[in-house]
Amino acid sequence: MTTQTLDSTTQQRVDKWLSGPYDAATKESIQHLIDSGNTTELTDSFYRDLEFGTGGLRGVLGVGSNRMNRYTVGAATQGLSNYINAAFPGVDISVAIAHDSRRMSPEFARLVADIFSANNIKVYLFSSLRPTPELSFAIRQLGCQSGIVVTASHNPPEYNGYKVYWNDGGQVVSPHDKAIIEEVNKITSVDDIKFEGVPERIHLIDEEIDAPYVERLKSNAVNPDVIKRQADLNIVYTPIHGTGITLVPRTLEALGFTNVHIVEEQATPDGDFPTVKSPNPEEKAAMQLALDLANAINADLIMATDPDADRVGAGARNHHGEFELLNGNQMASLIIYYLLNAWRDTGRLTGKEFVAKTIVTTDLIDAMCKRYGVTCYNTLTGFKYIAEVIRELEGKEQFIAGGEESYGYLIGDFVRDKDAIASCAMIAELTAYAKDQGKSLFDTLMEMYIENGFYYESLVSLTKKGKAGAEEIQQMMADFRANPPKSIAGSPVVRIDDYKALERTDATKGEKTTIKSGSMGIESSNVLQFFTEDGTKVSARPSGTEPKIKFYVSVKEPLASKEAFDDTYAQLKAKAQRAIADLGVV
């Protein structure tokens, strides 16, 4: 078997790895792919170089330029080292490094530490796995210029990843992200990578960051007296084999919650995630063991964090007495609703406060902020853009909270990334607050809808793997641009926002205006949004970190009463289904 079916660029990359200064095991693995005739896998492994998406590098573990391995991670780290050294001349540069429970995460973290140290950069390396948001906190706490967390978030076990952070504690954004890629692309040979570490420049950290982080998390509490009265709130928590086990139970205990039950089958960190198909709290299957335990012990609240503990899923008993898992739009809205009320009741709203969310996250948050006189900033998808807004407004406006529909939330600004540890603490507090008033978390959800309108969101996520899948996703977006829908769910499309062209079209008049580039959290991005006359919104967005294209649908109606919840919910769900059918993508 030969590799004649490969295109010339892919073939050149394969030849380079086979003949270059790569280790013997890597070359043997490549030769095995060739000998076995697995041209598809060979193509997917070499047809491109890994690129930064919304979260940095992310890919399948394995050999090749499009895989996560010693050489791709090494090249990224060497390029980043070169960029940092150039960006901070004359500075005693330091970086912080953390990792999750995934396959190869500890090894990659140590590799990254070695390369940084070989480039005359001081390294603070967590001695064992830690949540991603704690890495963001550590950068600010230690005064680092940059940071790395080795993780692939909630992806399946065969993935790993590499997130890069800047000195504000947020993930890198433009112009740094593109400039770093330019430096990485200059690493054309393995010989350019300084693999030999300098041990005296590597410092292990743990409790000296853990303790102040937990103290700051405690400061987020707005009703500590309620927690005292509801200390026995019956909570079920699972880290789904990830990093959350290191700090979620500790933080809940520090706040005063005394009745937390851990899902023991998922308590041990394990990169194989043996109890789930995918360690994603957005999926009910990943939370099934927590649901089983919650029903067995009559719990008040379920919480589950993803492997790197930046996202959290939650569930509570609904008005029928059954456990219902709340989606990311619902939980983001609940957190912000609770905080807006608390800030108003304590006289903390001065007109200079703000909330931040992504453009595909529910507009219910915008509506609530408007009622409370709080600015709501909308950004592109990716929490790094929310961090950018916080950085730009630091010292001018006060950040309350932020969130995105994909189960990521942030309370307070001492972390600059979504924080499932802080979110678990706040979700437990707002559940305790509801119980203190004789209500459930679900009662609060319905009251929020009655006050502000019932917003229902639906997500369709289509997976398209490999080179062929990437081309199919691009074609789908091209087709939508060439032939946008005229109506959705029976309502005419009145506006189209194209964030790739940074162009807004008034579909009723045919007039086009520019979406301001360079404004906080906004740059050219492959996203399309369609708005209808009756308030329905549909967003189409290829993922920057996964082989997927996602369609976000939002519909809304007034909610007259709690008794009308089920009927209104059914109407909205049917309308969202009609909207998806009109798109013709499933």
Query: Which are the catalytic amino acids?
Result: 153
> Tokens 């928590």 — which residue?
237
Residue 562 to residue 449: CA distance in whole angstroms? 9
Residue 172 to residue 382: CA distance in whole angstroms? 11
CB–CB of 69/76 below 8 Å? no
- Name the β-bridge partners of 95: 123, 146
Residue 268 to residue 549: CA distance in whole angstroms? 32
Q: In this structure, what DSSP letter does residue 264 have?
A: G
Please report, to the nearest 10 degrees, the dihedral formed by the alpha carbons of residues 119, 122, 128, 134 taken in order.
-120
Residue 344 to residue 351: CA distance in whole angstroms? 11
Amino acid at site 481: R
> Which residues have CB under 8 Å from 422's CB, separation 6+?
133, 217, 220, 409, 410, 411, 412, 415
Spatial CA neighbour of 160 closest among 109, 103, 75, 96: 103
> Tokens 């589950």 — which residue?
304
CB–CB of 487/578 below 8 Å? no
Rg from Cα positions in the chain: 24
CB–CB of 290/301 below 8 Å? no
Please report, to the nearest 10 degrees, the dihedral formed by the alpha carbons of residues 50, 53, 55, 56 taken in order.
40
Distances from the Cα of 38 to the Cα of 14, 29, 46, angstroms: 13, 12, 13
